[in-house]
Amino acid sequence: MRYSKANIVLLVLALTASAGDAAANRKNVLFFAIDDLRPELGCYGSKQAISPHIDALASKSMLFERAYCQVAVCSPSRTSLLTGHRPDTNHVWLINAQEYWRLFTNATTIPQYFKENGYVSIGMGKVFHPGAANGNDDSKYSWSPEGLPYYHSPVEKKYGPGNKTSLWWAFDGFEDNQLPDGQICDHATSVLQQLRKNKTKGDDRPFFLAVGFHKPHVPQYAPKKYFDMYPPIDQILLAENPKIPVGMPDIAYETWSTPREFNNTKMYFEGKNCTKTPQKAYSAECQFPDNAAREFRRAYYASMTYTDFQVGKVMSELEKQGFAEDTIVVLWGDHGWQLGEHSEWAKFTNFEDATRVPFLLHVPGVTDKGLHSASLVELIDIFPTLVDLTGLPMPPVCPEGKKQPLTCVEGSSVVPILTDPTVSVKNASFSQYARPNSGFFKLPGLNPKNGSEQVMGYTIRSDQYRYTEWVYFNHTTATAYWDDPRGLMGVELYDHRQPTVNFNDENVNMAHDDSMKSVMEELSYALRAGWRAAKAMRD
């Protein structure tokens, strides 16, 4: 079923000012970014997670059941989402990648675009990946400078990933705002109060307010009261599919060193050399014992619930300050997270658990009764969607094989789905993950003298399948060698045709099943043709 263009026009006109109206009449945007949040929430049907405030937001939002990131790691996922450019355009693929998109494309970001179109753009917490590699929150370009500097919690480093004291902490007697996300929440509420004061003084600009929360990123900590919301450890559910997929190529596996490096987890792995090879990493002796696995999962849930309550406080303040009816709210996780599924305890893969994300979109007067859609969408769609909903000029699609203009997008607006949750705006989602020619993966067949050569895992998620090819790749030129005489490093095909029983259905690699040959040929063609061909089919 194709959506009615007339319906979309009416929807956008209902949400935005006409071209001749002042920017002040446009909707505000509240932009929640949550780190390492997988779609295991009450509103997504979780059996154990406690998320009352995100669930409340979902009850008046469009909930996208099948939303996917472009790379299952923080920096490249956020770079892609915030610029509207896919990783092969940005040249940002790996964790804390030093390739910064402004050196390559100088792309316009979402908050920058709103600032340049009459919004006051304000940011805090983890929105961009922090650090020099991304220009220190892109402060020079993305945010409005007047009296509202970018905010980080003063205790962010103290409790950040660099502190290896414990992988999970329950802070007894702590108030929410003694930890970074509580301080970010307090700052967000104070900003909303200041914005209301500014309105009374005649500042009629709409706002773009980005609030980035850190938890449930490791280390997983929260005030003890959030741990106490969960049952005792022996009642915490373990992963339903803890084994690696049958027939999985080793290159698909992530050796997840970080969770093994904390002072309270080292003891399980000392002397076992667990990160030497993928085969060793997924061996039985290199997995968490059940008691530690339950501790880890409980801590993930508790830290997620802590963040959930911060979301609730910000939403309450939005209502209190009278902005709720004039504000579009978007909430997203930058990628998924594996909690023992497939013997994984991290992200860094192309599996469903790593690439599937929560994505909620609240549009006042449109989604108030709560909507669900199983249509395929991607995080890269957020940029054109917010532009569409606020009536700003839509950036062009990025041209192929040319120097990119400052502002262009490679996703699609999901606005059509708001008028009919059954329609689709794309036939497939596209994600990828790189295995470098170094570290854990000293890959057979790679040229050790060519530091620019690595392997890229490209994956396509169709309505019924996930198909992945691991191909030789040059990261300097962003070139995939599909026809390299060395062949592919791995091929995967997972069947999603049946309703899920576990958290996902990717338990058997069917790439070597002769009955799936025609399916694989079709998906291989679509994967190599890429997102442009898929978009052209829809347009």
Asked if omega into 216 is within 30° of 0 (cis), the reply is: yes
What three-state secondary structure class fits 501? coil
Instruction: Give the pTM.
Output: 0.94
Which of 53, 85, 91, 129 is catalytic? The answer is: 129
**Position 132 pLDDT exceeds 80:** no
C-alpha atoms less than 13 angstroms from C-alpha of 531 in its C-beta half-sphere: 27
pLDDT digits (tens, 9 = 90+) for 318-347: 999 999 999 999 999 999 999 999 999 999
Query: What sign for the dihedral angle of Cα 508, 511, 516, 520?
Result: positive
Would you place residue 5 in the very low, low, confident or very high pLDDT band (cuts 50, 70, 90)? very low
| DSSP per residue, 131-200 | SGGGHHHHTTTSS--SS---B--TTTTTTSTT--S-SEEEETT--GGGSHHHHHHHHHHHHHHHHHHHHH
CA distances from 187 to 151, 162, 173, 190, 401 (A): 8, 24, 22, 5, 43
The bridge status of strand 28-34 relative to strand 327-333 is parallel
- Rounded Cα gap, residues 539 and 533, in angstroms: 10
Cα 101 to its chain centre, rounded Å, is: 18
CA-based nearest residue to 362, from 40, 13, 56: 56
129 labelled catalytic: yes
Q: What are phi and psi of 106, to 5 degrees?
A: 50, 40
Which of 43, 53, 69, 74 is catalytic? The answer is: 74
Residue in the structure block whose two tokens are 């609730």: 312
**Position 237 pLDDT exceeds 60:** yes
347 neighbors 354 (Cβ within 8 angstroms): yes
CA distances from 158 to 165, 178, 218 (A): 11, 11, 13
The domains of the chain are located at: 5-16+36-155+176-217+310-419, 430-538
Q: What share of the chain has pLDDT > 70, as a percent? A: 89
pLDDT digits (tens, 9 = 90+) for 269-318: 999 999 888 899 999 999 999 999 999 999 999 999 999 999 999 999 99
- State the amino acid at position 42 in one-letter form: G
Give the Cα-Cα-Cα angle 439, 442, 448 (nearest 5 degrees): 105
Find which of 88-97, 385-394, 489-498 is predicted with most confidence, using mean pLDDT: 385-394
The bridge status of strand 359-362 relative to strand 62-68 is antiparallel
Give the pLDDT score at 400: 87
Work out the average pLDDT over 352-375.
Answer: 97
Listed in order, strand segments (DSSP E) in 291-447 are 327-333, 356-357, 359-362, 371-378, 429-435
Would you place residue 437 in the very low, low, confident or very high pLDDT band (cuts 50, 70, 90)? low
238 neighbors 293 (Cβ within 8 angstroms): yes
Give the pLDDT score at 105: 81
CA distances from 386 to 318, 362, 391 (A): 19, 11, 8
The beta-carbon contacts of 494-498 under 8 Å, at least 24 apart in sequence, are 494/245, 494/352, 494/465, 494/466, 494/467, 495/464, 495/465, 496/352, 496/461, 496/463, 496/464, 496/465, 496/466, 497/464, 497/465
Work out the average pLDDT over 53-71.
Answer: 98
pLDDT digits (tens, 9 = 90+) for 521-531: 999 999 999 99
Q: What are phi and psi of 429, to 5 degrees?
A: -110, 155
Work out the average pLDDT over 418-423.
Answer: 96
CA distances from 258 to 132, 163, 174, 388, 438 (A): 22, 12, 26, 40, 17
Cα 422 to its chain centre, rounded Å, is: 23
Please state, rounded to an integer, the average pLDDT across all residues of the chain: 90
43 labelled catalytic: no
Give the pLDDT score at 103: 75
Q: What is 5-16+36-155+176-217+310-419's CATH number? A: 3.40.720.10
CA-based nearest residue to 321, from 191, 150, 185: 191
Give the pLDDT score at 347: 96
- Rounded Cα gap, residues 241 and 500, in angstroms: 12
Give the pLDDT score at 133: 54
Work out the average pLDDT over 455-469.
Answer: 96
Work out the average pLDDT over 189-194.
Answer: 98
Give the pLDDT score at 499: 61
Give the Cα-Cα-Cα angle 89, 329, 370 (nearest 5 degrees): 115
Question: What is the number of other CB atoms lying within 10 angstroms of the CB of residue 141?
Answer: 17
- Rounded Cα gap, residues 209 and 432, in angstroms: 29
Q: What share of the chain has pLDDT > 90, as a percent? A: 78
467 neighbors 528 (Cβ within 8 angstroms): no
pLDDT digits (tens, 9 = 90+) for 371-388: 999 999 999 999 999 999
Give the pLDDT score at 451: 56
Work out the average pLDDT over 67-74.
Answer: 96
The beta-carbon contacts of 230-237 under 8 Å, at least 24 apart in sequence, are 230/48, 230/50, 230/298, 230/301, 230/302, 233/291, 233/294, 233/295, 233/298, 234/294, 236/48, 236/294, 236/297, 236/298, 236/301, 237/47, 237/48, 237/297
